[in-house]
């Protein structure tokens, strides 16, 4: 890249466009398209994510305000809200879903050696979902309750680098536990889940695949203690047991033994964990479940910094297109951060990119200078605003 390129164009250079062109051909995304291609659609939507545009009219007005620079952004088609709306309605969302997954594979390799916080070399994933409320009169396909519509974003988050390795978009009625049927378990990996995924039949599938899980136990679970290990109660551990399920249906669905760990946190809450890993230190199991909170922070972060709460279209295809492009944009920024070895957070990078997409400043000096400015000592006489 060089100083003659716009900041937005320099950012987009990190994307694997050969993969994107292959996917457009696979799903015939540009069939009978004359002016506004799938690439134009992706760039417009990614621009909207980075610059916090709120509507199609907002996107159109912002881009048309810089007509001489659109070619240098990579846009070749005529920009109009009608063309963008039609593209969101008609272009197959799977193009952008598979492109985001290609970006995820790149990002996971880059973040594979990130510190986890516990002494483990295996992959650790947190599985959870978040609900995005919608208007039932506009999004009739996403009926959730009698007077409410919603979509669910089911996410499997790789805790090394907070990269989503699996994303599934469903209507609000799909129960969380059903998503376990869609996963391809990775042998040796840890899956950390809350009680919403407590289903012995599905957990046994993970066990048979050679995967490990950590979840919360339900209060009405019936079991028989087989063995008790000694614990240091000064650390908060109450007990560490090997158990056998006693109810007939539970035994049929999970015939193997389980490990039950009871822990009292510093606030006095008693937590009971279940896992199928029999040799991991009990405190490490508790720490793994604590790391699950990262997925809650991830959901909060993307709702605050990406445009996935206000949609530019009302059809299922338009919603899924926007969500997948938002995920792809997030992962692309994470790839840039790692490849340029920037000390900036993703939040800081997005703030800088949101106000300077049309500038011709080289990307690395722009971001590294901002990182240096953040590390400058503050004046002790200057008031700090929280």
Q: DSSP string covering 330-362, please?
A: HHHHHHHHHHTT--S-HHHHHHHHHH-TT----
* Residue numbers in the chain where pLDDT is lower than 70: 1-3, 371-386
φ/ψ (deg, to 5) at 223: -155, 170
Helix or strand or coil: residue 186? coil
Nearest CA to 53 among 329, 382, 381, 385?
A: 329
Predicted local confidence at residue 283, as pLDDT: 93
Predicted local confidence at residue 380, as pLDDT: 46
Predicted local confidence at residue 373, as pLDDT: 58
**148/268 Cα distance (integer angstroms):** 37
Nearest CA to 97 among 308, 358, 323, 292?
A: 323
Is the distance from CB of 5 to CB of 361 less than 8 angstroms? Answer: no
Look up residue 327 and give its two tokens.
């995920």
Contacts of 22 (CB under 8 A, 6+ apart): none
Q: Please, what's the b/e burial string for 107-118 (b: 16 or more CB within 10 A of its CB; e: otherwise)? A: bbeebeeeebeb
The domain spans of the chain are 7-96+314-370, 194-291
Residue 21's CB: how many other CB atoms inside 10 A?
14
Contacts of 245 (CB under 8 A, 6+ apart): 200, 221, 222, 223, 224, 251, 254, 258
End-to-end CA gap in the chain: 38
Per-residue pLDDT of 119-164, as tens digits, reads 888 899 999 999 998 888 889 898 888 888 999 999 999 998 888 9
Residue 361's CB: how many other CB atoms inside 10 A?
15
Helix or strand or coil: residue 255? coil
Predicted local confidence at residue 375, as pLDDT: 53
Looking at domain 194-291, its CATH architecture is 2-Layer Sandwich (3.30)
Predicted local confidence at residue 385, as pLDDT: 35
The residues with which 272 forms a beta bridge, in sequence order, are: 262
């Amino acid at each position: 890249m060089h100083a003659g390129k716009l900041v937005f164009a320099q950012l987009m250079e990190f994307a694997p466009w050969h993969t994107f062109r292959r996917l457009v051909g696979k799903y015939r995304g540009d069939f009978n398209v004359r002016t506004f291609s799938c690439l134009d659609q992706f760039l417009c939507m990614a621009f909207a994510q980075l610059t916090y545009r709120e509507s199609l009219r907002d996107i159109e007005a912002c881009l048309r305000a810089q007509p001489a620079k659109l070619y240098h952004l990579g846009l070749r088609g005529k920009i109009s809200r009608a063309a963008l709306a039609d593209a969101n309605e008609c272009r197959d969302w799977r193009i952008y879903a598979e492109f985001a997954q290609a970006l995820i594979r790149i990002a996971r390799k880059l973040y594979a050696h990130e510190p986890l916080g516990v002494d483990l070399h295996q992959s650790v994933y947190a599985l959870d979902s978040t609900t995005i409320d919608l208007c039932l009169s506009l999004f009739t396909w996403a009926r959730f309750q009698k007077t409410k519509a919603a979509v669910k974003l089911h996410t499997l988050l790789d805790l090394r680098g907070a990269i989503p390795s699996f994303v599934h978009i469903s209507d609000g009625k799909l129960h969380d536990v059903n998503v376990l049927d869609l996963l391809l378990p990775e042998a040796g990996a840890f899956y950390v889940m809350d009680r919403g995924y407590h289903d012995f039949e599905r957990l046994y599938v993970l066990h048979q695949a050679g995967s490990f899980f950590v979840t919360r136990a339900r209060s009405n679970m019936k079991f028989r203690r087989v063995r008790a290990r000694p614990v240091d109660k000064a650390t908060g551990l109450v007990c560490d047991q090997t158990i056998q399920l006693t109810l007939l249906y539970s035994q049929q669905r999970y015939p193997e033994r389980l490990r039950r760990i009871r822990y009292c946190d510093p606030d006095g809450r008693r937590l009971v964990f279940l896992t199928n890993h029999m040799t991991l230190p009990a405190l490490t199991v508790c720490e793994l479940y604590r790391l699950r909170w990262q997925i809650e922070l991830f959901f909060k972060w993307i709702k605050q910094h990406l445009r996935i709460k206000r949609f530019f279209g009302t059809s299922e295809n338009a919603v899924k297109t926007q969500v997948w492009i938002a995920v792809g944009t997030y992962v692309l920024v994470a790839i840039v951060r790692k490849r340029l070895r920037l000390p900036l957070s993703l939040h800081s990078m997005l703030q800088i990119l949101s106000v300077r997409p049309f500038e011709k400043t080289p990307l690395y000096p722009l971001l590294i200078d901002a990182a240096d400015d953040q590390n400058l000592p503050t004046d002790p006489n200057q008031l700090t605003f929280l």
